[in-house]
Amino acid sequence: MPIAAAIERSIDVMWQHHANPISLEQLAEIAAYSKFHYCRMFNQLTGTSPGRFLTAIRIYMAKRHLLETPDSVTDITYRVGYNSLGTFTSRFTRSVGVSPTRYRSLAQGDDLPQLTPPAARSCHGLSVVTGQLYFPPSEVGPVRVYVGAFNTPIVEGYPQACDVLDEARPFRLQVPDGLWFIRAAAVATEDDSPGQLLIRPPRLVGSGWAVRARGGRAYSTDVQLRDVTALDLPILLALPELDGARRIPQAATR
């Protein structure tokens, strides 16, 4: 079996059995590789370790339960494979950027984080990162595209800077000095309806070159969007709107 298919098979098991203990030895056996070779190829294909991927799946499923059910955080803790409320809460908060209770309130209330348009922000001391989005040839329908700058390759928590594109234009981010990973996610808007609290994974994802910003300079990095695959980590942003928890008022054009 090709290595990508073997890794995908083990990831499928993670999704199906995320609430149960899953050992590295079991995952390697499912992929039919030695533990060492499995870990090396898993990291090469996904950009992270099997354990980190499983944690991301559990946190993602917790987000779904928080948005789609009235169940308590304690009940959700056990449902996604954690035996300790404290451990779950700390890992959720570290990954998403807010506590489970706060994440649920963001979706149910009127206090969603506001993403300030780049033009309205002061550029004093900040570097500017611009670029163009390129879409795959496959037709995906109307989308809203989020482009963010993160301090790790994993898309989680709050981005340092974010641009939301509802039209075909270059993105623009303003970032302080540091190494920033540019990531993009496109969410379909055509089936959206008021009042739904449903997580919808992005239709497309993409990344640009990492930018080491300094001294308020200007940088450019284009982003090639592509179809999401089983090898992509679930996105763990703290913005419920990106997950489709709120009605998106306007569809993006390409």
pLDDT of amino acid 238: 73
Residue 58's Cβ-count burial label (10 Å; 0-12, 13-18, 19+) is buried
Strand 218-220: give its sheet, edge to edge: 171-175, 127-131, 218-220
Given a contact cutoff of 8 angstroms between Cβ atoms, the answer to whether 158 and 170 are in contact is no
**What would the mean pLDDT of 119-133 be, rounded to a whole number?**
76
pLDDT band at 237 (very low <50, low <70, confident <90, very high): confident
Give the least confident one: 85-89, 99-103, 146-150, 152-156.
152-156
pLDDT of amino acid 189: 78
The rounded distance, in Å, linking the Cα atoms of 114 and 210 is 25
Give the least confident one: 102-106, 199-203, 230-234, 247-251.
247-251
**What would the mean pLDDT of 83-95 be, rounded to a whole number?**
95
- 171 pLDDT higher than 60: yes
Pick from 123, 254, 141: nearest CA to 203: 141
Architecture of domain 3-108: Orthogonal Bundle (1.10)
Q: Could you tell me the residue ranges of all domains in the chain?
A: 3-108, 118-243
Element (H, E) at 180: strand 178-188
pLDDT of amino acid 250: 37
Common-topology check for domains 3-108 and 118-243: no
Strand partners, 178: 213
On average, the pLDDT of the chain sits at 85
Question: What fold, for 118-243?
Answer: Immunoglobulin-like (2.60.40)
Q: Kindly report, residue by residue over 184-221, the tens digit of the pLDDT.
A: 999 887 655 544 545 667 889 999 999 999 999 999 99
Which residue shows structure tokens 């009127």?
A: 110
Q: Kindly report, residue by residue over 10-63, the tens digit of the pLDDT.
A: 999 999 999 999 999 999 999 999 999 999 999 999 989 999 999 999 999 999
Higher per-residue confidence, 243 vs 50: 50
